Amino acid sequence: METTLLLNTSLLLTLAIILTPTLLLPVSKTSSNSPTTITRTVKTAFLISLVPMTLFMLSGTESITSYWEWKFTTNFKIPLSFKMDQYSMMFFPIALFVTWSILQFATWYMASEPHITKFFFYLLTFLIAMLILTIANNMFLLFIGWEGVGMMSFLLIGWWQGRAEANTAALQAVLYNRIGDIGLILSMAWLASTMNTWEMQQAPLPTQTPTLPLLGLILAATGKSAQFGLHPWLPAAMEGPTPVSALLHSSTMVVAGIFLLIRTHPLLANNPTALTLCLCLGALSTLFAATCALTQNDIKKIIAFSTSSQLGLMMVTIGLNLPQLAFLHISTHAFFKAMLFLCSGTIIHSLNGEQDIRKMGGLQKMLPTTTSCLTIGNLALMGTPFLAGFYSKDLIIESLNTSYLNTWALLLTLLATSFTATYSLRMTLLVQTGFPRTPTNPPTNENNPMITNPITRLALGSILAGLLITSYITPTKTPPMTMPTTTKTAAVIATALGIALAMELSTMTHTLTYPKQNPHLNFSSSLGYFNPLMHRPNTTNLLNSGQKIASHLIDLSWYKKMGPEGLTDLQLMAIKTSTTLHTGLIKTYLGSFALSILLILSTQT
Amino acid sequence: MSFMHLSFYSAFALSSLGLAFHRTHLISALLCLESMMLSMYIALSIWPIENQAPSFTLMPMLMLTFSACEAGAGLAMLVASTRTHGSDHLHNLNLLQC
């Protein structure tokens, strides 16, 4: 049986199914494009995308197809080519599954929204862009997908346009992503000028790749995946509706940067400088985000910082030269992070818009399904043995411990792991247990199957995904098999320490002592002072230097003082004094004649 | 310096200063010009008498002729300026176009 034919056909069918609502849009504006239709479309696409995934799992079939070639110049051709390797074929079903669940949830969450169809269209367009990015074989298609997801992120974060904070957050997201795009374009330009192609298979060099294009790729990943330095947009992006946060800023868009590094890992593998940079940047990001998450009070912000921290962990994995493990973490992370966001969405709606965890409590009795899935998600995030997160996170930390690398990066990652446990447990305890701190009689209701079905489906995925993926995908690099017991259990010990710390702190909070301000609390709750330190001074300095160079230096000083106008001023001074002599009156001339005669006579005799 | 030299120089200098620093009317400038001419005529007349050289006696006559022409020309310009500007005030005589 022609497996590649079946593979290509089914994948193209998936893409075609997803594109169908967009094609039907100009035809009919009636209920044929309603949210339920779009949800059903994505569900169908998910079921069909299982075919290529099973084909790959059973036979290892991969393929690259190219359809049409854009003859840009005579010796630089850009084909429209799709690469179906393990990464794209595994990502398709996972992304479609998560999107299907989120869309189903969003039909309940955004039910009171008048423009709900437009919302679903935006989500669908985002999904198309993300899938283009995943399946791209050359940097051109990847760039199209990259820009597409950035644009849709902007539109979706600022969905509630009347809110000033939402507009600011959307603008912040676009600006930070743009800074990353500079890096991407830099590396694309280097690729085009050095390799004369944008195809990614033709890229690797036998010798060491120069550091500059790799720096560009790392900058692109920093911008898109919110590593430290270009990270403030991710917590601010929580201004968008919860389905947006669940889809974009937890599972799919923010992993685009890491995905780029996974795709181009042959280039990175030769350059130890770039790998070390990834390692240290990822370690710093994960610790910084985990520190900030410790004192957040908004449930969505805690989950956002958690996402940022896990992205840092993925960057660390790239720095260890283990792209497959990073992809495994992307896949498992998608399940439990999306589920955490959906649970938080249910909680927010049930408490009539309350997002502060200090005003929640005792929800375990009121929302049993949601809180059980919240617990499952938090346990998976912490890396509880044999849930989904364990398979990726534990492997990463084992590889960290057994590799020849920077001790500082290792320490930071372990500290971040224990912080992860701490803030997850804090969130769980404050939200679910204890006495309710909500106002009386909130409209809690989770009886709608449109809420419970997606969340339980994702919970099932959070439990089983790790096991399934690792069973069926053969690793390309042998994982470390032998290590001392302490090293093997390092992740679990760090997590347990974090849990113990959180339990201790929770007993402290119940004694109603007001927390005194100390530098560490201030650092954590003001997000490391990054925003006020960077946003104002950078822009002020940039604009000031622009004014100095353009206006003060060139216009005012060269033209006015020293150049043409300065000459004018000098002449004017002399002219003004000699105007009185140039009146044209005979009297003046005769007077000067007499004066000069007198002078001559006095000098002669 | 002899007495004649002093008187001649001072008469000429005074007349030229009068030419240069007149106040209002053009005709006073012309008068000073005439007085310059007069002092020169007297000096030129006394010069051959002083030096006992009768052949230079023609010089003052030539000078007188030419100064008469010049005075005539000056008066014609005075009349022309009075005809165009209405008076012979000196601030009318402006070389600037505007």
Which of A513, A532, A560 delimits the end of a domain? A513
Whether residue A527 is contained in a domain is answered as no
CA-nearest residue to A593 within chain B is B20
* Helix-helix angle A116-135:A86-109, to 10 degrees: 170
For A244-282, write each residue's pLDDT tens digit.
999 988 888 888 999 999 999 888 888 899 999 999 999
Co-location of A596 and A469 in the same domain: no
Q: Which residue has the higher pLDDT, A238 or B94?
A: A238
> Which residues of B lie inside 8 Å of A (Cβ-Cβ)?
16-17, 19-22, 90-91, 93-96
Co-location of A147 and A255 in the same domain: yes
Co-location of A167 and A252 in the same domain: yes
> For position A436, what pLDDT does the model report?
86
CA-nearest residue to B25 within chain A is A587
> For position B98, what pLDDT does the model report?
54
Co-location of A342 and A427 in the same domain: yes
* Residues of chain A contacting residue B22, judged by C-beta atoms under 8 Å apart: 587
| Alpha-carbon distance A595 to nearest alpha carbon in chain B (angstroms) | 9
pLDDT at B97 over 60: no
Whether residue B98 is contained in a domain is answered as no
Q: Which residue has the tokens 């000073």?
A: B32
Whether residue A417 is contained in a domain is answered as yes
Nearest to A591 among B20, B91, B93 (CB): B20
Subunit contact B21:A593, Cβ cutoff 8 A: no
Extract the residue ranges of chain A whose pLDDT is less than 70: 1, 28-33, 203, 509-513, 584, 605
For A313-335, write each residue's pLDDT tens digit.
999 999 999 999 999 999 999 99
> For position A1, what pLDDT does the model report?
59
Co-location of A376 and A508 in the same domain: yes
The Cα–Cα gap between A506 and A498 comes to: 12
Domain tally, chain B: 1
Three-point CA angle A30, A31, A37, nearest 5°: 135
Whether residue A124 is contained in a domain is answered as yes
Whether residue A541 is contained in a domain is answered as no
Whether residue A39 is contained in a domain is answered as yes
Whether residue A552 is contained in a domain is answered as no
The Cα–Cα gap between A406 and A160 comes to: 45
Whether residue B77 is contained in a domain is answered as yes
Subunit contact A587:B90, Cβ cutoff 8 A: yes
Co-location of A465 and A586 in the same domain: no
Model-wide pTM > 0.95 = no
- A415, A287 contact by CB (below 8 A): yes
Which of A513, A528, A559 delimits the end of a domain? A513
Whether residue A143 is contained in a domain is answered as yes
Co-location of A589 and A502 in the same domain: no
Closest CA to A372 of A488, A301, A462: A462
Helix (H) or strand (E) holding A329: helix A323-350
* Helix-helix angle A255-263:A323-350, to 10 degrees: 170
The Cα–Cα gap between A361 and A566 comes to: 74
Q: Which one-letter DSSP state was computed for residue A208?
A: P
**Mutate which: A579, A580, A581, A587, vs B, most B CBs within 10 A:** A587
- A400, A408 contact by CB (below 8 A): no
For B13-48, write each residue's pLDDT tens digit.
899 888 888 778 888 889 999 999 999 999 999 989
> For position A101, what pLDDT does the model report?
95
A561 Cβ neighbours under 8 A, 6+ residues apart:
none
Co-location of A593 and A461 in the same domain: no
CA-nearest residue to A584 within chain B is B95
A43 Cβ neighbours under 8 A, 6+ residues apart:
A100
Co-location of A484 and A583 in the same domain: no
* Residues of chain A contacting residue B91, judged by C-beta atoms under 8 Å apart: 585, 587
Co-location of A596 and A467 in the same domain: no
- A38, A124 contact by CB (below 8 A): yes
Domain tally, chain A: 2
Co-location of A470 and A588 in the same domain: no
Please give the single-letter amino acid code of residue A481.
M
> For position A32, what pLDDT does the model report?
60
| Domain, as residue range, for A223 | 1-513
The ipTM estimated for the assembled molecules is 0.72
> For position A260, what pLDDT does the model report?
93
The Cα–Cα gap between A497 and B69 comes to: 127
Output the domain CATH number for residue B44. 1.10.287.3510
| Alpha-carbon distance B93 to nearest alpha carbon in chain A (angstroms) | 6
> For position A454, what pLDDT does the model report?
93
Q: Which one-letter DSSP state was computed for residue B20?
A: H
Q: Report residue B75: phi and psi, to 5°.
A: -70, -35
Co-location of A442 and A583 in the same domain: no
| Domain, as residue range, for B62 | 1-92
Average pLDDT, chain B: 87
Q: Report residue A353: phi and psi, to 5°.
A: 90, 10
Whether residue A47 is contained in a domain is answered as yes
Subunit contact B93:A586, Cβ cutoff 8 A: yes
Whether residue B83 is contained in a domain is answered as yes
